[in-house]
Each structure stands twice: as C-alpha cells, then as structure tokens.
Amino acid sequence: MTTFSHLLADLLRRDPGRPLVTFYDHATDERVELSVTTYANWVAKAASLLVEEHDLERGDRLRVDLPAHWLGPVFLGAAWTAGLVVTDADDPDAVVCGPNTLDRWAPRADELPVLACSLRPMGVRFAEALPAGVHDVGVDVWSQPDSFIPWDPATGEDDALAWADGTTTQAELWEAAAAGSHLTDGGRLLSEANPASPPGIASFAEPLARSGSLVLVARAVPERLETTYVAERATARFPRTADQD
C-alpha cells in the first residue's frame, strides 16, 4: 500500500459499503456520510476534473484551500490518484477554494485553474455568479465519470505533500499513517481539524490506512461534541486526548 490508489482499491475490495467519511456542520445541522464506494466515486470525478478538464499532470502542485469539509478529503484523494502534490504554497499550479477564500484566488484565474466549491449541501453550485475565469465545482464535477485511470500512475516515490516544513512521498505518508497512534485499526476518529492542512492531515490519513473512518465536525458546538461522538460510535478523538493514553 505505497500509494493512495492501491490503498483505496484495497478498501473497495474488502468493505465497499462501510462509512469512510462522515461530516457534520453544527452551525447548519448538515450531515453527509460517504461510504468507501461513494468516496471513491467522488475522488474519480474530482481527479478527472483536475486532469481531463484542467490539464494537470503528475507532479503538478495543487492547493486545497478549503475549510474543514468533506470535499477536503475528496480533493486530497483526487490529487494523489492523479499523482499531484498537495501544497500549502502560494504559487500552486491549481487551487481548489471555498467561499471564504474565493476573493483571494479569483484575481489569479487568468494564470492558473481556480476551482471553487460552494460548500452547500450535496456539493451543489454557487447560488450567485462567480468571477470571470473561476470554475464552479458544483457545476463541472457532475459530468465527470465515476472511474478514473491515470495514464501516468503515481508511485510510492512521488511526493504526496509539499508543506512549508518539507515534503512527504506517498510511501512515507501511508507508512506513517499505518503506524499512527490516533486510533486503533478499524476505529472511528472524531476530529475538528481541517484534513487539508498540515496539522490535520493525519486525521484523514490514519483512518484510511488503518481501515477506520473519520467523523469530521465543522463549526463545532462544544456541548454537542459528546453527543456526536456517542451517536457516531466514535472510538477516538483528534488530536489524541489524555484519556486515550
């Protein structure tokens, strides 16, 4: 399991119907659950969007500038499927952004692909018109196929992450995730961290590598977290708390 694609294919063979990412937004009461199969379909569509529609190639750098949201893990998976490098740099080859960062990236739509996510329920389009040159993921993603086969597949030696503090290959990422300590194999991890950020990447990578699942809570209401934890049968929290030691 040296690449994301190998890991996801293994999960699809073994238990395609189990939950992989469950998303809550306490501010809106939205709940979205992606099974392994549904997640894989979204990843394929997003990868096709990046590669076939916007001509990104293996080794190109993608900025996933989204808040804590279920589309974050989708675009992480799409990037790694296509052999792209997820970066937090200000000079990526393409960017996926949300409403709160749209103003930052829209002026650069003439120099790089800017894909905007409305973050509305079910991943639908923006209600208002977007700036010129900005692509609405909620419009473009639905026409993409449910499967994606890269013509130049990523290897374990390809970079998966290029953060300000260094790079990580796909093999290194999944080796570290499999050896992680945030949850046990098959566990269910509740997290408020943004999976598409350096501090939060392990909150998604570890459940994926350890046959577990992620319960991601955005705009959490503290007094509701315990209720969510119990209702979702979570077994651990991210970051690791004292009562897990």
To the question of pTM greater than 0.75 for the whole model, the response is yes
Determine the average pLDDT of the residues in 144-156. 94
Residue 147 pLDDT > 80: yes
37: CB partners within 8 A, 6+ apart = 12, 16, 17
Residue 50 DSSP label: I
Proportion of the chain above pLDDT 70, given as a percent: 97
**25, β-bridge pairs:** 30, 218
Residue 16 DSSP label: T
108: CB partners within 8 A, 6+ apart = 95, 114
Residue 181 pLDDT > 90: no
Q: Mean pLDDT score of the chain, rounded to an integer?
A: 95
Per-residue confidence band for 245, with pLDDT thresholds at 50, 70 and 90: very low
Residue 164 pLDDT > 70: yes
- What pLDDT, in 10s, does the model give residues 167-177? 999 999 999 99
φ and ψ at residue 212, rounded to 5 degrees = -110, -155
3 state SS for 31-85: EEEEEHHHHHHHHHHHHHHHHHHCCCCCCCEEEEECCCCCHHHHHHHHHHHCCCE
- What pLDDT, in 10s, does the model give residues 1-25? 689 999 999 999 999 999 999 999 9
Per-residue confidence band for 242, with pLDDT thresholds at 50, 70 and 90: very low
| Calpha distance 210→117 (Å, rounded) | 29
Superfamily of domain 4-239: ANL, N-terminal domain (3.40.50.12780)
* Angle, CA 98 vertex, CA 106 and CA 209 arms, to 5°: 130
CB 83 within 8 Å of CB 150: yes
Per-residue confidence band for 206, with pLDDT thresholds at 50, 70 and 90: very high
- What pLDDT, in 10s, does the model give residues 73-98? 999 999 999 999 999 999 999 999 99
Residue 243 pLDDT > 50: no
Q: Count CB neighbours of 178 within 10 A.
A: 16
| Calpha distance 57→158 (Å, rounded) | 12
Determine the average pLDDT of the residues in 192-218. 96
Residue 244 pLDDT > 90: no
Per-residue pLDDT at 240: 60
Proportion of the chain above pLDDT 90, given as a percent: 94
* Nearest alpha-carbon partner for 216 in 95, 105, 86, 119: 119
